[in-house]
Structure 1
Amino acid sequence: MTKDLKLAHLALLSVAMIYGANYILAKDVMDGFLEPRGFILLRAMGATLLFWLFHRSSKSVKIERGDYWRFALAGLFGVALNQIMFFEGLQRTTPINASIIMTVNPIVVMLLSALLLKESLGWAKMVGILLGAVGAGWLISGKGEVDLLNDNTSLGNILVFINATSYGLYLIVVKPLMAKYPAIQVVKWVFLLGFVYVLPFGAVELVSAPWSSWTIDIYWKAGFVVLFTTFFAYLFNLYAMKTVSSTTVSAYIYLQPFFATIFALMLGTDELSWRLIGSAGLIFVGVYLANFYKKGYFSK
């Protein structure tokens, strides 16, 4: 395995760990301190400022006119539609349903990559993605009742599915840009455009937030979401995509509920069980097959 490949997988592992912690921390911020769309705008605004400041010390490549539409779509699918649909869907369904639906994302990415990017689909990759989905689904379903067909949650389920599909489309749309431009240059424009899209939907909620009631604890949790869940997570994903496929990036999504459970165990809010052990085994075998099962892979 080459150095670049090792760093790419390390970046994706870091993203999975960040999102695992985010499940616990972001919920506290939205518990009476900041409404979802206001939180999305805060994330987009904060990350956009960080990306543009960070890029000042990096090189730029002139953007080809034919790529403008791709940047616009990446901002729409990767920031605005992705995040708005998830939070709006989550308000209309259960966290368990939403987490289960999110496991379809790598499957969507795998199929779209084959159709649009002409990526090859070997048996190991397909079996790995499916095993990962089963493992993540088993882990999540053990935390509560799954009811995807309930009329009261059907709209929310649809919105979360749109979210999962939107992020899948983002990974497909942004992949060719990574072959032409530095990762930081790509993500700074993606977030600037995403911020413009989100601004009309989240401005009122952000301005009207009860800022005087925010505690130091809430500020650092919101800061974690902006700095790590948004800035570093998106940057690490794009960095990895310069080396690995869109399908590989999406496969690491299956590790997110695993890390969320590990953090919950550390905080004493969850218990070790055979379900956790069994589902973790399926997830890791799935991620291995989808990303590493290749003759001579580790000797490169």
Structure 2
Amino acid sequence: MTKILQNMQVKYSPTLIANILIFFTMIAWGTSFISTKIVIAEVPPFTIAFIRLAITSCILWPIFRKYEPTTHLNKAGTRRFAITGLLGITIYFCFENIGIKLTTASNASLITSVTPILSITLNMLFCKARLSLCELLGVLLGIGGSYLTITANGALDTASNHFLGNIFVIGSMISWSFYTIFSKKQQSNNSDLAIVTYQTLFGTLFLFPFAVTEYQQWHLFSFSALLQIIYLAGVCSAACYFLYIYALKILDVTLTTIYLNLVPITGVITGYLVLDERILPSQLLGGTMILSAILIANLDKLLKFFRH
């Protein structure tokens, strides 16, 4: 896959390719909330995460060994990948799956809108990043759009049966924000494929003890649930994690995390179509504002691209 992307860069702008790939990634991740909600009716949350990431590991490892047979981990690399695997895989999926079980798929996807605020703040604190005027305007507009999609006419769903789920989803977003920052720092010494593969392996390893605690709930699940898990593993994890890391290398953290706002848009739409969950006019307006934020934040890079 790395060679394919390199060949595409010869013909097209790397920035354009990265924007297209990150767009596809966010659409896929938006649908993952619905797939998880469907599967979680049959399979407990930690077990879903473990099976999903175990399949992902089985996909990534042979590909990694084929294209990078001489790559090996040292002690420092092992520690770094263990930390990012814990943050972006283990903690993230444990919190997210529990949250999706307790709240609606649409509500869970909408809460992901807080991620850009968290990631950009952490990037400024830990990486001393500075925002351009276009990026700042994009972030502010994205925050406004996120507020409309989260609050649903000014009132976030904090009913007793959903509130705890919302808290877990927010926890998963905090973990993801730290994962994004630390993964960015790993790219100077590691290939995209190595990063995704080792993170997934460590994350899956750490998930196993959590899955074992649910052994009393283990039973055979339907073929439909299996197909959903394969989609989550092959597309939403194996392919999309690689594309996310690749785009993170080309785009900065600000632009990449603003794209995460596409996740709630996709989640709300697919939640309505598949699960018959309600969409409010304010949420549609918020989605429009978020799309506009992405364009504004990319304005500098888009102008440079068209000038060339």
Q: Report the TM range for the smaller structure's normalisation.
A: 0.7 to 0.9
Runs of at least 5 residues in structure 1 that lack an aligned partner in the other structure: none
Is the Cα contact below 8 Å between 1:96 and 1:141 reproduced in 2?
A: no
Matched, 1:51 2:60: yes
Counterpart residue number, 2:236: 229
Counterpart residue identity of residue 43, structure 2? L
More helix by share: 2
Could you list the per-position Cα deviations for residues 133-167 of structure 1 after superposition, in whole angstroms to 9, with x for gaps in the alignment? 3323423544996245x677665444333211110
SS at match of 1:43: helix
Map 1:43-122; keep pairs closer than 5 Å: 43-59=52-68, 60-63=70-73, 65-91=75-101, 98-122=108-132
Provide the residue aligned with 2:260 in structure 1.
253
CA distance in 2, matches of 1:127, 1:240: 21
Confirm or deny that 1:173 pairs with 2:150.
no
Instruction: Give the equivalent residue in structure 1 for 2:4.
Output: none
Aligned residues: 296
Find the aligned partners of 1:227 and 1:162 in 2 and give their Cα distance.
25
Matched residue of 1:120: which SS? coil
Once the two structures are superposed, residues 209-247 of structure 1 have per-residue CA deviations (whole angstroms, 9 ceiling, x without a partner) of 321x51x32221121111111111211101112211222
In 2: Cα distance, 1:276 partner to 1:94 partner = 15
Worse overlay, 59-68 or 190-199 = 59-68
Question: What is residue 291 of structure 1 aligned with on the other side?
Answer: 298
Contact 1:136–1:258, Cα closer than 8 Å, also in 2:
no
Is contact 2:91-2:172 (8 Å) kept?
A: yes
Q: Which residue number corresponds to residue 173 of structure 2?
A: 164
What residue in structure 2 maps to residue 210 of structure 1? 219
Taking the TM superposition and a 5 Å limit, the aligned residue runs for 1:5-20 are 5-20=15-30
SS for the counterpart of 1:53 is helix
Q: Is the 8 A contact 1:178 1:241 kept in 2?
A: no
- Return the offset for 1:179: 2.1
Which residue matches 2:195? 186
Partner SS, residue 91 of structure 2:
helix
Residues 64 and 193, structure 2, Cα contact 8 Å, conserved in 1: yes
Deviations 1:254-282 (A, max 9, x none): 11122234445665947887545422320
- Structure 2 CA distance, aligned partners of 1:268 and 1:207? 28
What is the CA–CA distance in structure 2 between the aligned matches of 1:46 and 1:295, rounded to whole Å? 38
Contact 1:126 1:290 in 2 (8 A): yes
Task: State the SS of the aligned residue for 1:146.
Answer: coil
Answer yes or no: is the 8 Å Cα contact 2:134–2:299 preserved in 1.
Answer: no
Structure 1 residue 99: Cα displacement: 4.1
Distance 1:272 1:298, change over 3 A: farther
For structure 2, the residue ranges without an aligned partner over 5 or more in a row are 1-8
Alpha-carbon displacement from aligned partner over 1:161-209 (angstroms, at most 9, x marks no partner): 3211110000111112122211111111111111111100013536843
The alignment partner of 1:278 has SS state of: helix
State which of 9, 13, 23 in structure 2 corresponds to 1:3.
13
Q: Could you tell me how far apart the structure 1 residues matched to 2:150 and 2:163 are?
A: 19
